[in-house]
Structure 1
Amino acid sequence: MKADILVVDDTPENMRILCTLLNHQGHTVRKAINGEMALTAAKAAVPDLILLDIMMPNMSGYEVCQQLKADPLTASVPVIFLSALNETFDKVSAFKAGGADYISKPYNFEEVLARVNHHLALRLALKEIHQLNAELEQRVETRTRELEFANAKLLEVALYDPLTRLANRVLFMQKLEEALRATHKDSMRQLAVLFLDCDRFKVINDSLGHSVGDHLLLAITQRLQHCLPADATLARFGGDEFAILLPQIDQVEQAIAVTNSILRQIEPPFQIDTHEIFVSVSIGVVIGNGTYERAEHLMRDADTAMYRAKSTSKGRYCLFEIAMYAAALQRLELETALRRAIALEEFELYYQPIIDLQGGSISGFEALIRWRHPQKGSIPPSIFIPIAEETGLIVPIGNWVLEQACHQLCEWQQRFSHNLSMSVNVSARQFMHPGLIEQIDRLLATTSIAPSNLKLEITESAIMDNPHVAAITLQQLRDRQIQLSIDDFGTGYSSLSYLHSFPVNILKIDRSFIQNIDSQSNNLGLVPVIINIAKTMNMNVIAEGIETKIQLDQIKKLGCEFGQGYLFSKPLNASETIQLLSNKPRW
Structure 2
Amino acid sequence: MPYRIRALSEALEQSRLRERRIIDSASDAFVSLDANWCILDWNRAAERLFGWQREEVLGKQGFLLLTPEGESPALRQAEVEQLLVERAREAEGAIFELEVTCSDGSRMIVESSIWQLHMDGRREYYTFSRDVTERRRMERELSCRAHYDTLTCALNRTALFDHLTRTLADSSSATAVLLVDLDHFKRINATYGHVTADRVLIEVSRRLRECVDDTAIVARLSSDEFVVLVRLCWQEPVTALARRILARLEQPIELPDDSVHSSASIGIALATAQDSADSLLQAAEMAMFRAKRAGRGQYACFDPSLREQVAERIGMESALRHAIHHDELQLYYQPIVSAATGRIESVEALLRWHHPERGLIMPDAFIPLAEETGLIVPLGRWVIEHACRQAALWQRITGSAGPALQVSINLSARQIAQPRLVDEVRAILQSMPGDDTRLHFGFEVTETAMMHDPQVSAETLSQLRRLGAHLSLDDFGTGYSSMAYLKHLPFDTLKIDRTFTRGVAEDGCDRSIIRSMLALADGLGLDVIAEGVETRAQQQALLALGVQRMQGFLFARPQSAAVIERMLDDSLKALD
Q: Report the TM-score when normalising by structure 2.
A: 0.76
Q: How much has 1:255 moved relative to structure 2?
A: 1.2
Q: How much has 1:439 moved relative to structure 2?
A: 2.3
The separation in 1 between residues aligned to 2:492 and 2:332, in whole angstroms, is 24
CA deviation profile, 1:62-106 (whole Å, cap 9, x unmatched)? xxxxxxxxxxxxxxxxxx8327xxxxxxxxxx6xxxx5749xxxx
The separation in 1 between residues aligned to 2:17 and 2:551, in whole angstroms, is 109
Report the equivalent of 1:277: 260
1:151-166 pair list within 5 angstroms: 151-166=139-154
Structure 2 CA distance for partners of 1:123 and 1:197, relative to 1, 3 Å: closer
2:318 corresponds to 1:352 = no
CA RMSD of aligned residues (A): 2.9
Contact 1:159 1:170 survives alignment (8 Å): yes
2:164 corresponds to 1:176 = yes
Report the equivalent of 2:506: 519
- Alignment: residue pair count: 477
Report the equivalent of 2:360: 378
Structure 2 CA distance for partners of 1:275 and 1:504, relative to 1, 3 Å: farther
CA deviation profile, 1:229-275 (whole Å, cap 9, x unmatched)? 443222111211111112124x3221111111222222233333433
The separation in 2 between residues aligned to 1:276 and 1:451, in whole angstroms, is 50
1:525-540 pair list within 5 angstroms: 526-540=513-527
Report the equivalent of 1:410: 392
Report the equivalent of 1:13: none
2:205 corresponds to 1:218 = no
Of 254, 258, 266, 2:241 maps to 258
Partner of 1:81, secondary structure, is helix
Structure 2 CA distance for partners of 1:313 and 1:131, relative to 1, 3 Å: closer
The separation in 2 between residues aligned to 1:162 and 1:547, in whole angstroms, is 59
Of 517, 531, 535, 1:548 maps to 535
Structure 2 CA distance for partners of 1:262 and 1:557, relative to 1, 3 Å: farther
The separation in 2 between residues aligned to 1:374 and 1:425, in whole angstroms, is 25
**Which structure: larger Rg?**
1
Q: How much has 1:340 moved relative to structure 2?
A: 1.5
The amino acid across from 1:422 in the alignment is: V
The separation in 2 between residues aligned to 1:142 and 1:483, in whole angstroms, is 78
The amino acid across from 2:564 in the alignment is: T
Report the equivalent of 1:434: 419
Structure 2 CA distance for partners of 1:255 and 1:127, relative to 1, 3 Å: closer
Q: How much has 1:287 moved relative to structure 2?
A: 2.2
The separation in 1 between residues aligned to 2:343 and 2:543, in whole angstroms, is 14
Structure 2 CA distance for partners of 1:82 and 1:277, relative to 1, 3 Å: closer
Contact 2:24 2:45 survives alignment (8 Å): no
Contact 2:269 2:301 survives alignment (8 Å): yes
Contact 2:391 2:439 survives alignment (8 Å): no
The separation in 2 between residues aligned to 1:192 and 1:120, in whole angstroms, is 69
Contact 2:534 2:552 survives alignment (8 Å): yes
Structure 2 CA distance for partners of 1:563 and 1:295, relative to 1, 3 Å: same
The amino acid across from 2:6 in the alignment is: L
1:21-32 pair list within 5 angstroms: none
Structure 2 CA distance for partners of 1:340 and 1:269, relative to 1, 3 Å: same
Structure 2 CA distance for partners of 1:175 and 1:409, relative to 1, 3 Å: same
Partner of 1:248, secondary structure, is coil
The amino acid across from 1:269 in the alignment is: P
The amino acid across from 2:413 in the alignment is: A
Q: Which moved more, 1:118-127 or 1:500-509?
A: 118-127
Report the equivalent of 1:228: 212
The separation in 2 between residues aligned to 1:247 and 1:341, in whole angstroms, is 45
Structure 2 CA distance for partners of 1:127 and 1:373, relative to 1, 3 Å: same
Of 296, 302, 313, 1:314 maps to 296
Report the equivalent of 1:493: 480
The separation in 2 between residues aligned to 1:411 and 1:81, in whole angstroms, is 124
Report the equivalent of 1:333: 315
Report the equivalent of 1:580: 567
The separation in 2 between residues aligned to 1:242 and 1:451, in whole angstroms, is 52
2:126 corresponds to 1:126 = no
Structure 2 CA distance for partners of 1:147 and 1:338, relative to 1, 3 Å: farther
Contact 1:285 1:302 survives alignment (8 Å): yes
Contact 1:451 1:482 survives alignment (8 Å): no
Partner of 2:150, secondary structure, is coil
The separation in 2 between residues aligned to 1:339 and 1:54, in whole angstroms, is 107
Report the equivalent of 2:105: none
Q: How much has 1:129 moved relative to structure 2?
A: 4.2
The amino acid across from 2:316 in the alignment is: L
Report the equivalent of 1:484: 471
Partner of 1:274, secondary structure, is coil
The separation in 2 between residues aligned to 1:254 and 1:148, in whole angstroms, is 41
The separation in 1 between residues aligned to 2:27 and 2:514, in whole angstroms, is 94
Q: How much has 1:405 moved relative to structure 2?
A: 0.6
2:137 corresponds to 1:149 = yes
Structure 2 CA distance for partners of 1:354 and 1:226, relative to 1, 3 Å: same
Structure 2 CA distance for partners of 1:130 and 1:432, relative to 1, 3 Å: closer
2:287 corresponds to 1:302 = no
CA deviation profile, 1:203-243 (whole Å, cap 9, x unmatched)? 22123211111011122223323322443222111211111
Of 78, 81, 102, 2:5 maps to 81
The separation in 2 between residues aligned to 1:529 and 1:239, in whole angstroms, is 45
Contact 1:456 1:483 survives alignment (8 Å): yes
Q: Report the TM-score when normalising by structure 1.
A: 0.75
Partner of 1:478, secondary structure, is helix
Q: How much has 1:132 moved relative to structure 2?
A: 6.9
The separation in 2 between residues aligned to 1:540 and 1:217, in whole angstroms, is 45
Contact 1:370 1:379 survives alignment (8 Å): yes
2:368 corresponds to 1:472 = no
Partner of 2:353, secondary structure, is strand
Structure 2 CA distance for partners of 1:369 and 1:146, relative to 1, 3 Å: same
2:554 corresponds to 1:567 = yes
The amino acid across from 1:126 in the alignment is: I
Contact 1:519 1:554 survives alignment (8 Å): no
Contact 1:514 1:551 survives alignment (8 Å): yes
The separation in 1 between residues aligned to 2:186 and 2:160, in whole angstroms, is 24
Of 213, 216, 231, 1:247 maps to 231
The amino acid across from 1:429 in the alignment is: R
CA deviation profile, 1:522-561 (whole Å, cap 9, x unmatched)? 4547433333332232212222221111121222222223
The amino acid across from 2:471 in the alignment is: L
Report the equivalent of 2:407: 422
Q: Percent identity?
A: 34
Q: How much has 1:127 moved relative to structure 2?
A: 4.9
Q: How much has 1:410 moved relative to structure 2?
A: 0.8
Structure 2 CA distance for partners of 1:529 and 1:222, relative to 1, 3 Å: farther
Q: Which moved more, 1:155-164 or 1:457-466?
A: 457-466
The separation in 1 between residues aligned to 2:28 and 2:5, in whole angstroms, is 30
The separation in 2 between residues aligned to 1:452 and 1:506, in whole angstroms, is 18
Q: How much has 1:570 moved relative to structure 2?
A: 1.0
For structure 1, the 5+ residue unaligned runs are 1-52, 56-79, 84-93, 103-115
The amino acid across from 1:512 in the alignment is: T
2:275 corresponds to 1:293 = yes
Contact 2:235 2:270 survives alignment (8 Å): yes
Structure 2 CA distance for partners of 1:121 and 1:178, relative to 1, 3 Å: closer
